[in-house]
A and B are shown apart, each in its own frame.
Chain A
Amino acid sequence: MCLAVPGRVVEVFDESGTTMAQVDFGGVRKKVCLAYLPETGVDEYVIVHVGFAIQRLDEESAKETLATFERLGILEEEFGDGFEAAAREKGVQL
């Protein structure tokens, strides 16, 4: 039950004084309470847990993290100790 899932805000509306949203989870739409993130706009991604948006998903930072993963290991391949790497691949202790 502790899982929280990201979805895209497709509509923001007011329901008896509370900010609510329709959120799309890859095709499934659900009504979600936006009271804790009332500034969220349509097309933004939010993390939803038991019917509440608890945090916005920051696209910039998602991009950055993925870019770091892409770069991982490349520097070592460039500058690393090739002999050590080869030994490791073979499972040989140096």
Chain B
Amino acid sequence: MKYLDEFSNPDLARRLLDQIHAVTTRPWAMMEVCGGQTHSIIRHGIDQLLPEGVEMIHGPGCPVCVTPLETIDRALAIARRPDVIFCSFGDMLRVPGSHDDLFTVKSEGGDVRVVYSPLDALQVARDNPDKQVVFFGIGFETTAPANAMTVHQARQQGIPNFSLLVSHVLVPPAIAAIMESPTCRVQAFLAAGHVCSVMGTSEYPPLAEKYGVPIVVTGFEPLDILEGIRKTVVQLEEGRHELENAYPRAVPAEGNPAAVAMLRDVFEVTDRTWRGIGMIPGSGWRLSSRYADFDAELRFEVTDIQTDESPLCRSGEVLQGLIKPHECSAFGKECTPRNPLGATMVSSEGACAAYYAYRRLDLVSAGGA
């Protein structure tokens, strides 16, 4: 494929790595915000090829991991209703709620379906007019346009038995929250490329300025990540803190204006609790009042949710970059991808699952980092 495979060319990767080593004079800690990047970094072992002291802190950018426990419990309660067909992306199925997960609901006879796209859920609604079809609309700014278009079409085409359970999260307020935290060690950010493909880059220069941190928009292929790290280290070494775009082939400065216009129409900003982290002001989207008729939270009243998180799980600290997954005593023991205690062990973008999948299990026995 044209210009697709080239971004994992090992010769060029070597060059980029040499450059990173050449420009680095001291330790730096930078955070990759996006779970897709965490996955790619661990999979290719990029963090282990960096100069001594250049540390990748894995950020909270896995929507599956940060969807609030209360919302998961609400989803489980709605999915249990006999009149409901509950549609979701596959990786939400095994996310632990307080007591069980969507998979359990399905095995107990609930109609839970995995779809590739929210539009598929809308089709399920057309095909089953006597059922209530609910789509679990989670994700960052990358996923929101798909959910927005789907609910927009449901309204336009008058599909009354469709609704959306929304728990969207936003990257820029999370960056602000990380920087405001008293335990913050982050000196720079690799910003999530595909979030910026949608939203553009205009939200980031004020953050770079306010917190004095370089922010580099970064892609997902090995070369993209190395280039993001290289640009970041160069800024840090030169004492600059600017927004730079290391992924211009997919990120124009203005993003995708048609998608942004749709997002502004369908959603409105709300405070959002991030699982393991807590409430971050203005860090989420919910359906705007114009779409209240399609809001599953309003359509299905679920009361008395008592959330109950596993006492062993330290995913909150993992998500904030305070510990690495293998430093959790349950990692690879009580907690595995087959039997996850926390959401970060479920999705392949969760840091715990990525460490588990790519040979980092030996870290536990070796006791090293």
A interface residues (Cβ-Cβ under 8 A, vs B) = 1-4, 6, 8, 16, 18, 26, 33, 35-38, 45, 47, 49-52, 54-55, 57-59, 61-66, 69-70, 72-73, 76, 85, 88
Question: At the interface with chain A, which of B76-84, B137-145, B175-183?
Answer: B137-145
> In which size bucket is the chain B interface?
35 or more
Is A55 within 8 A of B250, CB to CB? yes
Nearest B residue (CB) for A27:
B1
Is A1 within 8 A of B139, CB to CB? yes
Supplied contacts A1-B91, A61-B248, 17 more A-B pairs, CB within 8 Å? A1-B89, A2-B36, A2-B62, A2-B139, A3-B220, A26-B1, A50-B116, A50-B143, A51-B120, A55-B255, A57-B250, A59-B3, A62-B249, A65-B249, A70-B12, A72-B16, A72-B19
Complex Cα spacing A73 to B17, Å = 10
- List chain B residues, Cβ under 8 A from A57: 3, 249-250
- List chain A residues, Cβ under 8 A from B349: 1-3
- List chain B residues, Cβ under 8 A from A63: 3
B interface residues (Cβ-Cβ under 8 A, vs A) = 1-4, 6-7, 12, 15-16, 18-19, 21-22, 34-36, 61-64, 89-92, 116-120, 139-140, 142-143, 145-146, 149, 153, 157, 192, 194, 197-198, 220, 223, 227, 248-252, 255-256, 258-259, 262, 347, 349
The DSSP consensus for interface residues of chain A is mixed
What are 8 A-B contacts defined by CB distance under 8 Å? Answer: A2-B142, A2-B143, A33-B119, A51-B146, A54-B142, A58-B250, A62-B3, A63-B3
Nearest B residue (CB) for A30:
B116
- List chain B residues, Cβ under 8 A from A50: 89, 116-118, 139, 143, 146
Complex Cα spacing A47 to B250, Å = 8
Is B258 within 8 A of A51, CB to CB? no
- List chain B residues, Cβ under 8 A from A1: 63-64, 89-92, 139, 143, 347, 349
- List chain B residues, Cβ under 8 A from A16: 157
Is A69 within 8 A of B12, CB to CB? yes
Nearest B residue (CB) for A70:
B12
In whole Å, how far is B251's beta carbon from the nearest beta carbon of chain A?
7
Given contact pairs A1-B64, A18-B153, A8 touches B1 in the complex (Cβ within 8 A): yes
Given contact pairs A1-B139, A4-B142, A4-B194, A45 touches B91 in the complex (Cβ within 8 A): no
In whole Å, how far is B210's beta carbon from the nearest beta carbon of chain A?
26
- List chain A residues, Cβ under 8 A from B140: 2
